[in-house]
Structure 1
Amino acid sequence: MPKSSSDNDSPLLLYDGHCALCNGAVSWILKWDKRQRFTFAPLQGPTAAEIIRRHPHLAEIDSLILVEGDSMRTHSSAALRVAMIVGGLWKVLGLFYIIPKPLRDWVYNGIARIRYRTFGRYDACPMPPVEWRHRFKA
């Protein structure tokens, strides 16, 4: 049975709501997360603001932040953990954990630097499809 998006232990993915690549990643998760474990909130919203208020070191992050209970993952570690949670064949991406984090994050940050130019930028956070809105927080 899928977890409800109201479960406190559901992984929460904070993402740049203006970034087309980040919104694409959210759409990918919605497609492949068959057990509906994830909830989502844009970095521009009050949910993210409250988390960042409690964890000020996250204020500099402008792409993905994965929150699981008291655990916060950013950059490549967040992306790889998402793949692990989605499961199935996507778990194979966990093999990239063998690459040292500084190198993984260097690649991740390189993509993040060009994401607006390459993938585009929204003026406002797009609304999720009606059937998925229960999985989003403001």
Structure 2
Amino acid sequence: MRRQPVLVYDGDCAFCTSSVRFAKRRLRPRCDATPWQFADLARLGIAQQRAEHEVLWVTPAGSVHGGAQAVAKLLMSAGGGWPVVGALLTLPLVRWVAQGVYRIIARNRRRMPGGTAACALPPSRGGRGRQ
């Protein structure tokens, strides 16, 4: 059993990689961070399609939190005042808004600072863009 949570992110996305690097350097969360491309997804209990879609926080017990709630968990594991911010992101109304903001950022991450065309989410199988 793992001792620390794992943050799983898209290692091909410059925006994602930069964001994780920033978090590790400035927030110092208590977790391991790994690109999904190098993670043992089966061992973590994650489908590749989900890992392509959103950042994931996997607890040592195997619970998986995605998107804005993964960010909330990362913040709650950090030092300073960040756990308060993370806890706020879990409140019902704030959680709903945070997930919406997360989806907007995820859909537009190639346009974010440091983003490139490689940051674009892969198209869904149904022909619609991912959300």
TM-score under structure 1 length normalisation: 0.68
Where does the alignment leave 5 or more consecutive residues of structure 2 unmatched?
A: 119-131
C-alpha distance in structure 2 between counterparts of 1:42 and 1:60, whole Å: 13
Higher helix share: 1
Q: Using the alignment, how far apart are the partners of 2:46 and 2:11 within structure 1?
A: 20
Alignment gaps of 5+ in structure 1: 1-6, 124-138
Task: Determine if the alignment matches structure 1 residue 111 to structure 2 residue 105.
Answer: yes
> How far off is 1:74 after superposition?
0.3
**Structure 1 CA distance for aligned equivalents of residues 43 and 49 of structure 2:** 9
Structure number with greater CO (CA < 8 Å, separation at least 6) is 1
Kindly state the Cα deviation for residue 95 of structure 1 after the two structures are TM-superposed.
1.6
Aligned residues: 114
Q: How much is the aligned-residue C-alpha RMSD, in angstroms?
A: 2.7
* DSSP-derived class of the 2:116 partner: coil
Answering whether residue 128 of structure 2 is matched by residue 121 of structure 1, we say no
Q: Percent identity?
A: 26
CA 1:9 to 1:99, structure 2 compared with 1: closer, same or farther past 3 Å? same
- Secondary structure at 2:77 match in 1: helix
Q: TM-score, normalised by structure 2?
A: 0.71
